[in-house]
A and B are shown apart, each in its own frame.
Chain A
């Protein structure tokens, strides 16, 4: 160890300076349990990773600089952990105090030694038979506060788990899973509340975002993502089914962001249901396919912006909102950055929800552009039909649940993008609780499919660089202050120069990637942790 430290002296000095500044800032050693202030500080302590997006802004941009473009080719595996389950990881692991906390498929979770990958405890829920979940029996990660971890379950519960033992501390039913409700998102923990959303729009659910007391598990507030009779957006549900809003969809797949100054949480909402047949739900169908800004204390809607009014293409806005402060036209703006499944990259004012810019980051044939009033300018011949209608992108969209990253120093937003088209068909589905409720389906057109990592300049919306993948990628993105971007495709986890997009390193994990890398530091050594299939692989610089 001494020899390796000598060889890595410059990097070690940077780390020590980093750790010292954190120590001075906090005036104490890292706490044994996580406070709400720790969550608010996010990656100010860069050795940790406490939320799905790394910090409340969801930048997924680490200040760690031990691994650089110059030495990343020395990155080698240090340990692997295998779940011994079926399914796949879609989670963002959390790390603090030398321990990795990660959720897996089929409602599992582990605490692992961050130095070696050795298991400390395992959590596994006894799931009931008859589970209904459209898109994989997955989970996207833990939330944390104090000595508790929080997790949604496939049978639509929210559970609190002891960080020290993996034992259940409370278990709250959010909804009845037999009606198609399921939980897959990682929680967003704000102050004393655990905020989560529900999934299941392909089964005719009525989506919601809930806050629960972190101590007791009691519900504090609920916001429905389909507007009911008491809500101002209720008039946007018209058509042949007067009760369409009751099974109108609006899933939550990934956690929101939080702005402590505005005390607002921001959530992307899923598609309206049935997915493709909009006849029985004419109107904009608020608040589906939108971003909603909710008061963190009360859940009251402060503003909303709908990306895809009257969505009939399954363009869920189930992407992670990214909060950033960027200079536009010489003015510092507090914005939400949102690369949407509908193919447009949006910049919104974070306080008002007003559109600043919407620009396509892939080919789109459903809408030409986003008008100044914030609504899409629809293109003709893009409505799904019984005969089939060709529309780009296909239902999987320009991107999907995989999280992007944002490097504020470069002003670059890195997103796993997809070019695609599909033939959209419709038919009539009658709503039956717990049964598939899509009203159509899509035939993907193979010769239109490609996938790539794209770097978008947030000040212009223009593409700065891209790296093409051989096969469709579902991997998330991580960037670091040393000028690196980690992404992947075809089972390869890869590192890129953030400025140029040049590929600098890769490692074949042996399984498809459905999550993003994260990074942490323990014992002065920076690790990059990549979930792939049912295996976690931790990389660090070779010590030779």
Chain B
């Protein structure tokens, strides 16, 4: 399997996991009553818990946070404790999710409290101090963003909407992942933003991102941000492209210093509006 295919597989697996978890969460279920959550991990250092937690981490977390927990689609977890994070907060994040990101809360009927503590006991064994302090200038980075990215991406209500809203991207993506996406070395495409080309019976070619599809129709946002549905019987071709609509921004378009500033700006974004759960 190529790296690209593997990445897509991981994203799709995550998306499917989200869908099934969402479907489960949508049930009006009455979860078993949990005990009050302790402030510190009661299983920290427990050998069996760490062993079980390792398998749980690989199953439930590694797809986004990386097999080594250094971050992939999701943030680096190894520096969480050295940066002042607490067991209790991490537990709450796992149980409740992070609003506005792909990080969903763990269903209490499927993931018991002890499962979360076991997973945290394992992640704690990977804990490390970050090797490099953050670099770049966020104010300058925002200018780079406005000049290059805002045509398609929105932050805090300003910008285009053909690409994903980045208002909370600092909570959702590690710096390395953002860098590779900007430089064009990442083929990760978020569900709902898969590039698609439609050809009508008149021969017109329409490019956009796929919002939905079934056996008989497809719904897209075209490159002019027009939402539109098409009946497949009226199309002669539908191509889901492998390459993102987002162009690669090499050093000729965004130099290394500007990229550093841009990454500092993006990783600082945590959103300004309350997200309703």
* B-binding residues in A (CB < 8 A): 85-87, 105-106, 127, 129-134, 136-137, 386-388, 423, 425-428, 434-436, 440-449, 469-471, 489-492, 494, 503, 506, 508
Contact = CB atoms under 8 A, between A and B. Distances in A.
In this complex, the member of B5, B14, B213, B214 whose beta carbon has the largest number of chain A beta carbons within 10 angstroms is B214
Contacts of B110: 134, 436
B215 A443 contact: no
A446 B11 contact: yes
Given A428-B52, A446-B8, A491-B214, 12 more contacts: A106-B28, A131-B29, A136-B24, A386-B51, A425-B55, A427-B55, A427-B118, A441-B60, A444-B20, A469-B215, A490-B215, A506-B215
Nearest to A422: B13
A351 B248 CA distance: 66
Contacts of B26: 86
In this complex, the member of B59, B214, B216 whose beta carbon has the largest number of chain A beta carbons within 10 angstroms is B59
A427 B114 CA distance: 13
B54 interface: yes
A11 B17 CA distance: 48
Nearest to B17: A444
B214 A492 contact: yes
Contact of A132 (B14, B32, B54): B32
Given A137-B29, A441-B56, A471-B214, A436 B13 contact: no
Contacts of A471: 214
Contact of B27 (A136, A388, A434, A469): A136
Interface residues of B, number: 41
Contacts of A491: 214
Consensus secondary structure, chain A interface? loop
Interface string B4-32: 01001111111111001001101111101
Nearest to B232: A470
Contacts of B60: 441, 443
A447 B12 contact: yes
B9 A130 contact: no
B48 interface: yes
Contact of B17 (A130, A443, A469): A443
A503 B118 CA distance: 50
Contact of A427 (B8, B32, B56, B111): B56
B277 interface: no
A469 B213 CA distance: 11
A446 B17 CA distance: 9
Nearest to A489: B215
Given A137-B28, A492-B216, A447 B56 contact: no
A137 B27 contact: yes
B58 A387 contact: yes
A428 B48 contact: yes
Contacts, number: 112
A182 B8 CA distance: 38
Contacts of B59: 388, 423, 425, 440-443
A274 to B, nearest CB: 12
Consensus secondary structure, chain B interface? helix
A67 B255 CA distance: 67
8 contacts: A127-B30, A441-B56, A444-B20, A446-B14, A490-B214, A506-B216, A508-B214, A508-B217
A129 B28 contact: no
B40 interface: no
Contacts of A428: 48, 51-52
B63 interface: yes
B109 interface: yes
B214 A425 contact: no
A503 B55 CA distance: 44
Contacts of A425: 55-56, 58-59
Nearest to B1: A447
Contacts of A133: 29, 109
B215 A470 contact: yes
B33 interface: yes
A441 B12 CA distance: 17
In this complex, the member of A105, A443, A492 whose beta carbon has the largest number of chain B beta carbons within 10 angstroms is A443
Contacts of A494: 215
Nearest first, the 6 closest Cβ-Cβ pairs linking A and B are A446-B12, A490-B214, A427-B52, A425-B59, A86-B28, A427-B55
Contacts of B51: 386, 427-428
Interface string B139-152: 00000000000000
Contacts of A435: 32, 112
Given A130-B33, A387-B58, A427-B52, A444 B13 contact: yes
Nearest to A131: B30
Contact of A436 (B24, B48, B109): B109
In this complex, the member of A136, A470, A503 whose beta carbon has the largest number of chain B beta carbons within 10 angstroms is A470
Nearest to A387: B58
A444 B16 contact: yes
Nearest to B52: A427
Contacts of A436: 109-112
B9 A447 contact: yes
Contacts of A442: 59
Interface string B195-225: 0000000000000000001111100000000
Contacts of B11: 446
A434 B32 contact: yes
Nearest to B216: A506
B54 A447 contact: no
Contacts of B23: 136
Nearest to B5: A447
A494 B60 CA distance: 36
A159 B82 CA distance: 57
Contacts of A446: 8-16
A422 to B, nearest CB: 9
A346 B236 CA distance: 41
A77 B118 CA distance: 52
Interface in B72-97: none
Contacts of B14: 446
Contacts of B54: 386
Given A136-B24, A388-B59, A436-B112, A470 B213 contact: yes
Contacts of A440: 55, 59
Contacts of B213: 470, 490
A87 B214 CA distance: 22
